[in-house]
Amino acid sequence: MITMPEKEDNEEKNKALKTIAKGGSIVFIGLIFSRGFGYLFRIIIARFLGSEAYGLYSLGLATFSILFTISLLGVKSGIRRFISYHRGKREDKVRGVLKSGLKISMPLSIVFSSVLVFFAPQLSIILFNNPEMSLVLRFFGTLIPVMVVVNNLNSVFIGLKKVKYQIYSGNFIHMGLKVALAALFIFLGFELFGVLLAFLLSLLVSLIVSVYYLIYKINYFSFDKSSFSTKKLFLYSWPLVIAAIFMKVIGWTDVLMMGHFLTESQVGIYNAALPTAMILPFFLRAISKIIFPVFSELYGSGDLSDLRRIYQVTTKWIFALTLPFFFVMFFFPKQLLSILFGAEFTPAALSLSILAVAYLYYASLGPLDRILKSIGRTKIYALVLGVSAAVNITFNLLLIPIYGIIGGAIATSVSVILYSTLWLVLLYKELKIIPFTLSYIKVILSGLVSVGIVFFGLGMLFPIPTVSVYIFAFLVFIALYTVFSLLTGVLDSEDTMILKATEKKLGLDLRFAKIIIKKFI
């Protein structure tokens, strides 16, 4: 018999899971659009401008990404955390957070922007020994303050659980417009200049739309009265800026060091593999967008048992959805790169397989970083990334001169696996959190059996497969994977509840899916 406290706990857990499902639906659609168009943007550059121009763009993006991250000073996560944390405690202390975040992050962004704009010719020679980087650095320099403001505004949307507005402005408008303008400018003959201009114009439009949503849709702005402490936000956020810098070091050191040791063309080829592998944590990012405020509220109210169970359920979803795409990248990397980027980029096939293993492992452990941030363990979060960044730099220095782009892939993979493992160990000691359940193991078995059948069947039936054969094989794998998952009992009652919430949010009729699930739980 279920007691009243147990019933209330279940209702609270179900409410949190429904919040994730409803928010996750729009986030999922938005991220499909964002990642898809972001990836398409890269393909357009690579296919129409070649590996050398794509390499110049990638080096500029790496420089911009690191400087922009330093400029934020970690306040992005701080804004999300304090808005959602005080909402969980039913405290009205959320309106001044954005003002404090802008005070902290804007000055440094202006400094970095000025340095890149005014000293681009000198920096292009000193850092990359290539005067052609001057134009690229200048363009990315103008983007830094704009991107800082946009990220601050997006954090408010997420903290208030108004993720749809961030998706509309940041994913649909920014990414869609960027691809459309880039295609247009390349068609008109502007080449790399057109790509950079498309990036700048689309980001400015995104900023304007975000401000409109905050003023007229949410009525958040309240600059005349603020009860939130800038000092408190900074004390929470400063370890996060260090952590964010370390994360960017892990993500971009390989690219920057290749820019020093290798040619721009090799950098471009490697940057077909890296963003492709980084698609794998897609579902993790979709869930993490909405789950961070949920974790913060549960921790603020002391519901640790619900926090643990929600983590396990969402991690199972993430892993189950990620696994099929990993198998494609791991077993067919050359074919995938050739289809997407062209034959010029197939030398990155082995790098893609190596990176895919690391990013699958990262995704399979779920939103560990979000839990660390939501419980305020930002210093230990930063320390782990610092250790991983040091390992990353060391491995890149040792391996890239010897093994080229494969050495960079190994260095990045070791770092990703290291920080993921350390986060898991720390959270297990802190909250007894562990992602692995019986359902999780059933997902692995279903995936291995399905890919084994398809992989060996494909080799026997089609010695020289075409693109259409690969697509058909993937569909067969998905069908087998789904059937084996259902037969082994991967789904449970919580999954049915999630499906109902998603159905309601998207306005779809998923009656058939619910009937099938009920037969296997």
Computed on alpha carbons and rounded to an integer, the radius of gyration of the chain in Å comes to 23
Q: What is the C-alpha separation between 180 and 174, in angstroms, rounded?
A: 10
Least confident of 94-103, 113-122, 497-506: 497-506
pLDDT at position 505 is 46
Q: Shortest CA distance to 381 belongs to which of 363, 391, 367, 397?
A: 367
Backbone dihedral region of 506: left (phi > 0), alpha (psi from -120 to 50 degrees) or beta? Answer: alpha
Confidence of residue 220 (pLDDT cuts 50, 70, 90): low
Q: What is the C-alpha separation between 197 and 191, in angstroms, rounded?
A: 10
User: Rounded mean pLDDT of the chain?
Assistant: 81
pLDDT at position 57 is 92
Tokens of 310: 């929600």
Q: Which residues contact 147 (CB under 8 A, 6 or more apart)?
A: 68, 109, 203
Q: What is the C-alpha separation between 447 and 24, in angstroms, rounded?
A: 24
One-letter amino acid for residue 90 of the chain: R
pLDDT at position 1 is 46
pLDDT at position 422 is 94
Percent of the chain with pLDDT over 70: 80
Q: Shortest CA distance to 502 belongs to which of 15, 98, 4, 24?
A: 24
Question: Which whole number is the average pLDDT over 89-113?
Answer: 75
**Where is pLDDT greater, at 54 or 221?**
54
pLDDT at position 355 is 96
Tokens of 94: 């959320």
Question: Which whole number is the average pLDDT over 162-167?
Answer: 79
Least confident of 80-94, 362-376, 421-435: 80-94
Q: What is the C-alpha separation between 406 and 348, in angstroms, rounded?
A: 8
Question: Which whole number is the average pLDDT over 224-233?
Answer: 62
**Where is pLDDT greater, at 346 or 507?**
346
Q: Shortest CA distance to 225 belongs to which of 130, 399, 95, 414?
A: 95
pLDDT at position 2 is 45
Question: Which whole number is the average pLDDT over 379-406?
Answer: 91
One-letter amino acid for residue 421 of the chain: T
Residue with tokens 């804007």: 106
pLDDT at position 38 is 86
Give the dihedral sign, CA 146/151/156/161: positive
Question: Which whole number is the average pLDDT over 18-41?
Answer: 70
pLDDT single digits (tens) 272-309: 999 999 999 988 887 776 666 667 667 766 667 777 77
Least confident of 248-257, 373-382, 391-400: 373-382
Contact 309, 13 (CB under 8 A): yes
Helices (H) and strands (E) in the chain, counts: 21, 0
Q: Which residues contact 351 (CB under 8 A, 6 or more apart)?
A: 270, 273, 274, 405, 406, 408, 409
Q: Shortest CA distance to 107 belongs to which of 148, 55, 141, 63?
A: 148
pLDDT at position 347 is 94
Contact 454, 477 (CB under 8 A): yes
Angle subtended at Cα 204 by Cα 200 and Cα 209, rounded to the nearest 5 degrees: 150
Q: Based on the number of CB atoms within 10 Å of its own CB, is 187 exposed (0-12), middle (13-18) or buried (19 or more)?
A: exposed
Tokens of 170: 């940041």
pLDDT at position 388 is 93
* CA distances for 351 relative to 20, 275, 280, angstroms: 34, 11, 15
pLDDT at position 361 is 95
pLDDT at position 171 is 80
pLDDT at position 85 is 64
Question: Which whole number is the average pLDDT over 192-199?
Answer: 93
In terms of residues, how long is the chain? 521
pLDDT at position 17 is 52
Quick one: angle between helices 230-261 and 405-431, nearest 10? 150
- The domain locations on the chain are 22-436
* CA distances for 102 relative to 6, 99, 147, 479, angstroms: 43, 5, 12, 49
Least confident of 11-20, 279-288, 325-334, 431-440: 11-20
* CA distances for 243 relative to 143, 362, 414, 470, angstroms: 22, 17, 17, 40
Q: Shortest CA distance to 286 belongs to which of 167, 162, 368, 372?
A: 167
Confidence of residue 90 (pLDDT cuts 50, 70, 90): very low
pLDDT at position 86 is 58
Backbone dihedral region of 432: left (phi > 0), alpha (psi from -120 to 50 degrees) or beta? Answer: left
pLDDT at position 497 is 56
Q: What is the C-alpha separation between 455 and 195, in angstroms, rounded?
A: 39
Q: Which residues contact 515 (CB under 8 A, 6 or more apart)?
A: none
Percent of the chain with pLDDT over 90: 28
**Residue 128 predicted with pLDDT over 90:** no
pLDDT single digits (tens) 51-81: 889 999 989 998 998 898 888 887 877 777 7
Least confident of 100-114, 198-212, 433-447: 433-447
